Amino acid sequence: MRKHKWPIEILGIILGIIWLSPFYLMIVNSFKTKREMFEDTLKLPAGFNFDNYIEAFTELNFLQTFMNSVLITVVSVLVIIVFSSMAAYALSRNKSKISSFIFFLFVAAMLIPFQSVMIPLVTIFGKLEMLNSAGIIFMYLGFGASLSIFLYHGTLNGIPKSLDEAATIDGANRFQIFWHIIFPMLKPITVTVAILNTIWIWNDYLLPSLVINQEGMETIPLKMFFFFGEYTKQWHLALAGLTIAIIPVIIAYFFAQREIIKGISEGAVK
């Protein structure tokens, strides 16, 4: 009965193709030899030549780099989840002026752009000899806690305090109450917090470039400059390298896209 939607359908599909075309061009050209690339970037490659991939994989030391990224991202996100949820719990169960002030402090910190604290941050942590993996995880806690506490706080306010009180009467202490009763109830918001922080930390370039830019410690974004020399660009290797770097993200996206899109829109609208 309704009118045909096909003009909109076609428009949508055309836009979809346009949106995908950069990825298509990247992948198609990543299979070309240096010479083929020089001749034409539009036609299909002569064959599926994996030489670029093998070379890029080796030059990027990809296994090591990937593990560096995984380690820093996973540990930082776990640290953020544990400590932000605990802090938000304390702030939601104590409604004093001190709590409101601390909460305000975290929210206000969200207004501060990274560039405004970057220079003293690096010099202070340099003096403390903390420009390493442990240091960067601690920094991610400092920068990531605000949004995470804010999100947890909103949910915690909706969990009745009578639950805590019942557990107190049964003799449980604060840590037991939080970890055994409250934290399991926070699972949906924990998923959101985990997604938002993972995307941010996994893709972050500037902070690791200042803190852990040493041989063997680099995360994936830091290694992306490898094929972009000042005067020479090895496009055939660069495109293979970029594709390798994107694959893990795309795999994760296809497994968890509903949660990811939901998490991002929740984080943005609040």
Residues of span 238-267 touching other proteins by CB under 8 A: 238-239, 242, 245-246, 249-250, 252-253, 257, 260-261, 264-265
Binding track, positions 124-163, relative to other proteins; x by CB under 8 A: x-------------xx-xxx-xx--x-----------x--
State both tokens at 102.
Answer: 């601390």
Beta bridge partners of 228: 233
Q: How far is the CB of 88 from other proteins (least distance, A)?
A: 9
Q: Phi, psi (5° rounding) for residue 258?
A: -60, -50
Q: Which is nearer to other proteins, 50 or 253 (CB)?
A: 253
Residue 171 binds other proteins (CB under 8 A): no
Q: How far is the CB of 50 from other proteins (least distance, A)?
A: 19
Are residues 135 and 125 in contact, defined by beta-carbon separation less than 8 angstroms? yes
Residue 31 binds other proteins (CB under 8 A): no
Residue 206 binds other proteins (CB under 8 A): yes
Angle at 135 between CA 134 and CA 141, to 5 degrees: 95
Give, rounded to a whole angstrom, the gap between the first and last alpha carbons of the chain. Answer: 39
Helix (H, G, I), strand (E, B) or coil at 64: helix
Separation between Cα atoms, residue 264 and residue 192, nearest integer Å: 7
- The stretch near other proteins (CB under 8 A) out of 2-10, 47-55, 58-66, 182-190 is 2-10
DSSP state of 113: -
Residue 11 binds other proteins (CB under 8 A): yes
Among 46, 63, 118, 166, binds other proteins (CB under 8 A): 118
